Structure 1
Amino acid sequence: MTGQRVGYVRVSTLDQNTIRQLAGVDVDRVFEDKASGKDQNRPELEEMIKFVREGDTVLVHSMDRLARNLDDLRLIVRRLTAKRVRVEFVKEQLCFTGDDNAMANLLLNVMGAFAEFERSLIRERQREGIALAKKRGVYRGRTPSLDTFRAAELCEKAAAGVPKSVLAREFGISRETVYVYLRAKV
């Protein structure tokens, strides 16, 4: 008996679309994360790893959808293959089973390193573009989440002892953004 074909798709932001990633690929179930691949802290990735069983196949569009750095990529593939789950990368046409030979391991490492390198180049170009835009005076950064009045209100409530998670929900921002505003006040 063959196992299930399980898809994993990921995009970095909520407004991005995952439809093209496994278009035309036959899968029984898909796990979808809308989160950065910079680390393994992704709820659907963990659910997918818990869900799959021996004999299943995990299909991923490309290596950079599974992980953005080589260490995470190798660890995730090892976690899956340790469960006797086959991992297939559609774009790269690579498959890993845990019984892989030296060439398969080399390909995983080389292709994963290229994905990590590509991501680093993108970030470098982005920083250069922002620096040039700032020099021209056309880059203003992100629009603040809260205006001055709302930021002051947030700081007052935090000083009064309102928990940060409550403030985040009330103001419609993340807890990290709450801390950014509180640090800026100091």
Structure 2
Amino acid sequence: MLLRHKGPNEVTTIGYARVSTSDQDCTIQEAALKAAGCDVIRSEKRSGTTTKGRDELATVLEFLREGDVLMVTRIDRLARSVFDLEAIVKAITAKGATLKATEQPIDTSTSAGKAFLQMLGVFAEFETSIRKERQLEGIAKAKQAGVYKGRKPSVPTDEIKRLAADGLGATAIAKTLGVGRASVYRALGEVSA
């Protein structure tokens, strides 16, 4: 659906929905945004830990004009770091638009709404940091127990060493195995010139 403003002096309310993975669904967010009166809703399946690659968000931010409202269900749908949240809010404000949330008392047209937004941004970033710490703790425990082996090697190191022992050079090995020459050099413990 293309983004279109209602008319020259009419406010457009644009909904933005986001989920992190392709197996998740935006339906619940989209229904809440529609019920809140959004004229247009844009959705995407991308991580919220960065704004990079979030094309729908970029489109919405570019489209906003003075008086418009960007609506989300919760601010963690918009950003997972205080830095990104502040940058997004700055972009919205620079356009003369406001940010509102359906499930949180956020309305950047009011002082209380701005303060609440900043507090929630800190908590969203804290939650992301805690999740990363727990993940690293789990990996460390699994390694201690001998359960975690890490990612499987993508380059057949043993095969590279065997072909090198047979007299093949790095370029020939790379072609034979369909890997990069740098991978061959790493597997052999050499540095390419």
TM-score normalised per structure 1: 0.71
Secondary structure in structure 1 of the residue aligned to 2:115? helix
If you compute each CA radius of gyration, which structure gives the higher value, 1 or 2?
A: 2
Residue deviations 1:105-126 (CA, integer Å, cap 9, x gap): 3222211101111111111111
Aligned equivalent of 1:167: none
Residue-by-residue CA offset, 1:28-73 (whole Å, 9 max, x unaligned)? 3222232222222122211111122222221112111111111211
Deviations 1:68-121 (A, max 9, x none): 111211121121122122211222231113xx32x3332222111011111111
- The unaligned stretches of length 5 or more in structure 2 are 1-8, 160-173
Is contact 1:22–1:60 with CA below 8 Å preserved after alignment? no
When the two structures are superposed, what TM-score results if normalisation uses the length of structure 2? Answer: 0.69
* CA RMSD between the two structures: 2.7
The count of corresponding residues between Structure 1 and Structure 2 is: 159
Aligned to 2:169: none
Counterpart check, 1:77 vs 2:89: yes
Tell me which of 93, 96, 104 is aligned to 1:92.
104
| Equivalent residues of 1:38, 1:69 under 8 A apart | yes
Once the two structures are TM-superposed, the CA of residue 184 in structure 1 deviates from its matched residue by 5.1
Structural mapping, 1:1-186, within 5 Å: 2-26=10-34, 27-41=38-52, 42-97=54-109, 100-101=110-111, 103-143=112-152, 146=154, 148=156, 152-156=177-181, 185=187
Please tell me whether the aligned partners of residues 56 and 85 of structure 1 are also in contact (alpha carbons under 8 angstroms): yes
Give unpaired runs (5+ residues) of structure 1. Answer: 160-180
Identity of aligned residues (%): 39
Larger mean CA deviation between 111-120 and 18-27 belongs to 18-27
Q: Provide runs of 4+ in structure 1 moved above 4 Å.
A: 181-186
